[in-house]
Structure formats: structure tokens, C-alpha cells
Structure 1
Amino acid sequence: MEPEVRRRHATSFGAAAGAYAEHRPGYAPAAVRWALAAAPGARVLDLGAGTGKLTSTLVELGADVTAVEPDPAMLAELRRALPAVRALSGGAEAIPLPDASVDAVLAGNALHWFDMAVAGREIGRVLAPGGVLAGLWNVMDDRVEWVAGLARVGGSAAVGPRDTLGSWRAATARAHLPGTGRTARSGSPEQAEFPHGQRRTADSLVATIATRAGVLVMPEPERAATLGRIRAFLASRPETAGGEFTLPMLTGVLRVRRLGISPR
């Protein structure tokens, strides 16, 4: 993706912050526990926290959470939903925290938006020795036939390169989490997937897909046509045509542990 196109996608969510907060799923608690690889009460940075979907699960698991989010509208939704959480304006490339101040840095559906050439050093600066960096993604389970059909009908803009299990596995098969500072030593990346699901109706699933970056940046006629095709597909399927259903999902996690500090 070209840098300017990538920037447009990455900054598109604020215009739909309310819908994002309402319709996007949270994260499988088992996935978050595995991502942390730490005891309850660990100091955790939720980086690119959005409206607080991952933040809320971290709070429920007993973590000491700081949320950092660059978009003012997304940050406002997070503060409204989780007023007791320390929530700061900032981005992965300029994290407003002191050196070695957190035990884990987690990013929910956000790591792919970071400029890791810069963010890797910043993450290394705030991450304590022995800490963990993990990206989490909620993905639709396209091993289920109707979900695979939905992905085909939606197209690559509506169902992006990390929105289905198959595409997420392909995108992360050879992925690595860049070094977190020139003196940091890291272990090998670890990958895991955890079953998840979200209760949806056809209308609310269309509303969820409408919050994806590829849809948000579409010209309005193209956006309406894309969502119309998805709506028609869901109306045609017995699994999704009649009221509520569970959208089969998984939370995929890519994790690396920081082993310590090597000599300069």
C-alpha cells in the first residue's frame, strides 16, 4: 500500500468512532491472557487503543492499563466508555510514557498501521526488560462456507488482508515483530489463534463491515453498492437471514518476548 493511501486508511476511523464503538467486537479473553504472558496486575500499554475494545478486556483481566490513541474522536469514545482508565493522546511513533515503564505493549487491530521503523524503537524504549510485545487481530473464520462467501462478495476493500482467518494466516506466516531498540534482545515470534464469536444480525454485521478502513475511504456510491451486495448476500443465506446469529471468529495473536538488554 502506498504511503499516502495507507495514511488515509489509518486515519479514517475517527469519522465513524461512534459506530466503531458500537459494532466492533471485543477480544477473546484467552487470547489476551496469552498475549500478556504476564501475571495479573502487569503494567500494560494498549497502543493504538481506538475506542477501548482491547482496553476493556485488559481491565477485566486485572491489568494496570494505560491506553494511547492518536485520533481525538476515538479517544473521546474510549474515555466515555472507560473513565477510570488512564487514556492519553499519542501514537506508536511518539509514545507519551517514560522509559521502561510497562511490562507489555499490546495493539488490537492496530499493529499494521504503525511505522515500525520508528515505532519499534519507541516500543523498546517504554518496554521493560523481560516484557512482551503482541498484536491481536479479530478475524472471521472463513473455513465456514458462508463466511468465505461473505468475504468473496465483500471484496478486498470490505474484507481486507487481515479480516479472515485465511488472509490473516497468510499475512503473518512470515511476519516478524521488528527489533524494539538496538540494545534489545528478543525471542522468536510466537503465533496463536483463539476461538471467538460475535452475536450479530444482518443489519449489525453490515454496520460492522462499514467501519473497516477500506469501506470508510470509498466514494459514497461505491460504498453503498458494496454494502448493498453484502446485505443481499446475508438475506439470501439461511444462516443469516432470520434474526440473530453468531459470526464465527477467532482472535489471532502475534507475540514476541523481550529477553533483556545486550551489551552495546
Structure 2
Amino acid sequence: MSVDPLKEDARRTADDVAGEGGLASLRRLTETISAMEARRTAIIEKLRGQGQASWEEIGRACGMTRQGASRRWSRQLQAGSFGTVPAVYHRGRPGYPLSSLEWLIPRSARRVLDLGAGTGQFTRLLVDAGLKVFAVEPSEGMRAQLSAAVPAAIVREGSAERIPLEDGSVDAVVVAQTWHWVDPALAVQEVARVLVPGGTLALVWNIRDNTEPWVADLDGILHRHTRQAIDTQPSIAEPFSSPERLEIRWSQVMTRAELLDMVASRSYVITLPDPDRLRLLREVEQLLDSHADLKGQSEITMPYLTRCTRVRRP
């Protein structure tokens, strides 16, 4: 019987790492598997970003189907993509209406955690309101941009699944444009841990209002390349109370460059192969040049719906 040389090499590597067995060997194997998985993800990110391999080819290389490989890594690559373009993200992402903060954060709150803070769009609102703000963000590039943009915030590395704060240390936790990336089963328990009894978990999303015809045309361009479905009214598990909801209509004035940055900073655009991403951006530029409501405009008014959810820890 012939032996697959790749499998044989993998077996020898595992034996070398494991050594004689026991708990120490188990820890070494676990750390090695984690490092290898990170390296595999990095290789897949490069292959996809440079258009060098399809999901079918990646799936075969990983012993999976195309669908399995896409489900396994496409969301992960999108979630981790923002740190590659923090300046573009900061320039292109909209702020939030002040009324969203006033509704989401209780007046009695003094210490607030901005979880998945990105480059600080909501963090700035919290700091300007006179709150003591902890800003937790997993991406190093995003944290650097955040620290420069909102120096009064206490910026820390972490995630919704591993919050680097003590039990009962904040009065409210706000998650702006981020909850759809987290593992809710883990995040709910971590948020409950760091909140004081009676504390508030606040979720907020900005959604483009595509009842405006040119916004619908823009969304049509984006959705021809990819579609990202986001649940902006999620259910929140125990120990939290039933959710309260609010929707706010508002608009933000943007330059042409800022609108292109907004498009370029979408996770599903960042992770497109280079030729597809450039084609998409050209299509958006053509819309700006040709649409009757946009042509020749130096400033563009983007309509938004801000969808807010708040729940409380009993």
C-alpha cells in the first residue's frame, strides 16, 4: 500500500511536537494547532486577496468542499479585514446621531465600554458626553487609529468573547456596528460579567436608507458583487431583559472621496480579489458621474437609518 508523503510528513510533525505525551505535550499540540490555523488563514487571505485561487481550489487543498471552505473562512476574513485599511475606515464610516447615544446610554451611567470600538466613531460621542470610556478593539491597526482620534478613551486589546475588564466594572456596554461579527453565546455572558447589576447592553447599526433612488442604485452595484445580510434587530439571550428598539432617520453630508472611502471600507469589498474590487469602485465612480441627483455635486447627502436595541441586566 502506498503512503501519502504529505500525510506521513504531517504525522511526523505531530509526533515531534507531542513528544512523550502528557499534559505538557497536549499544551504544545494545542498551541501548534492554533499557530498553524492562523498561518493557514493568512495563506487563504493572500490567495483570495490576490485572486490566485477560487474557493473550490482552496476547499480541495483543505480537504473540504467549496461551500465548506467558503463558510469556514469568508466570514472570518471579512471580520478581520478592517485592520488592513484603518485610515480608509476612519474617513469613510459615518458618525452616529446624538439622539442614539441619549436613548442607548442611561443618564446615570458614568463608566461605559465601547466594545469593538473600531476607529472611534461612537467612542468620540461617549467621551464628549463626559463619560469614562473603555474602548476594546481586537485589531492593532484600528486601535492605533482609535487612540489618535480619541486620546481621552482608555484603549485596550480584546474582543466581545474576551473582555479585558473586571467583573461589574462598567455601567453600560455599547456595541456599534459590530454585534453581527461576535459569537453571541460567548459575548452575552462576557458582557453580563463586566456590567454592574442593572447595567445596559446597547447595540446600534447605521443602515443606508435605500428608499432614496440613488442609494438603491448604489446598493445594487454593491450587491452585484456580494451581499451581506445583517440582523439589526437581534434577540439577546438571558440574563438580559426583553429588548427595546428605536429607529432614527438622519443624514450625513459627505464628499465624493468620503463616499468612495465608505464603499472601500466595507468588509466584503476589502476581501474581494483586487480586479473585482477595482471594478466595483469604478462602477461607483460612474454612478457619481452620471446619476441626475449626484452629477457635478461636490457634497453628497447620505440618508441613514440608525437602528438601536437596548437590554438590561436584571
TM range (shorter): 0.7 to 0.9
In structure 2, relative to structure 1, the CA distance for the partners of 1:152 and 1:79 (3 Å cut) is same
**Corresponding position of 1:246:** 301
* TM-score scaled by length of structure 1: 0.87
Name the larger-Rg structure.
2
The 8 Å contact of residues 136 and 156 in structure 2, kept in 1 or not, is answered as yes
In structure 2, relative to structure 1, the CA distance for the partners of 1:35 and 1:157 (3 Å cut) is farther
Please, what is the CA RMSD of the aligned residues? 1.7
User: In the TM superposition, what is the alpha-carbon distance from 1:195 to its structure 2 partner?
Assistant: 2.2
Structure 1 gaps of 5+ residues are: 163-170
Q: How far apart, CA to CA, are the structure 2 residues paired with 1:247 and 1:158?
A: 21
Question: Is the counterpart of residue 61 in structure 1 residue 120 in structure 2?
Answer: no
Structure with larger RCO (C-alpha < 8 A, sep 6+): 1
**Corresponding position of 1:11:** 80
Secondary structure of 2:90 counterpart? helix
User: In the TM superposition, what is the alpha-carbon distance from 1:40 to its structure 2 partner?
Assistant: 5.6
In structure 2, relative to structure 1, the CA distance for the partners of 1:10 and 1:157 (3 Å cut) is farther
**Corresponding position of 2:118:** 50
The 8 Å contact of residues 201 and 240 in structure 1, kept in 2 or not, is answered as no
Question: Is the counterpart of residue 39 in structure 1 residue 107 in structure 2?
Answer: yes
Which residue of 78, 86, 89 maps to 1:20? 89
User: In the TM superposition, what is the alpha-carbon distance from 1:56 to its structure 2 partner?
Assistant: 0.1
**Corresponding position of 1:255:** 310
Question: Is the counterpart of residue 73 in structure 1 residue 141 in structure 2?
Answer: yes
In structure 2, relative to structure 1, the CA distance for the partners of 1:208 and 1:158 (3 Å cut) is farther
Which residue of 265, 274, 287 maps to 1:233? 287
User: In the TM superposition, what is the alpha-carbon distance from 1:62 to its structure 2 partner?
Assistant: 2.2
Structure 2 gaps of 5+ residues are: 1-69
User: In the TM superposition, what is the alpha-carbon distance from 1:155 to its structure 2 partner?
Assistant: 1.2
Which residue of 248, 254, 265 maps to 1:194? 248
The range that moved more, 15-24 or 199-208, is: 199-208
- Which string of whole-angstrom CA distances, capped at 9 and with x for unpartnered residues, describes residues 5-35 of structure 1? 2111110001100111122111111012111
The 8 Å contact of residues 202 and 235 in structure 1, kept in 2 or not, is answered as no
Identify the structure with the greater strand proportion: 1
Q: How far apart, CA to CA, are the structure 1 residues paired with 2:160 and 2:280?
A: 32
**Corresponding position of 1:165:** none
In structure 2, relative to structure 1, the CA distance for the partners of 1:157 and 1:251 (3 Å cut) is farther
The 8 Å contact of residues 99 and 125 in structure 1, kept in 2 or not, is answered as yes
* TM-score scaled by length of structure 2: 0.74
Percent identical among aligned pairs is 39
User: In the TM superposition, what is the alpha-carbon distance from 1:201 to its structure 2 partner?
Assistant: 2.8
Misfit runs of 4+, over 3 Å: 156-160
The 8 Å contact of residues 136 and 252 in structure 1, kept in 2 or not, is answered as yes
User: In the TM superposition, what is the alpha-carbon distance from 1:41 to its structure 2 partner?
Assistant: 5.0
Which residue of 81, 84, 88 maps to 2:156? 88
The 8 Å contact of residues 127 and 152 in structure 2, kept in 1 or not, is answered as no
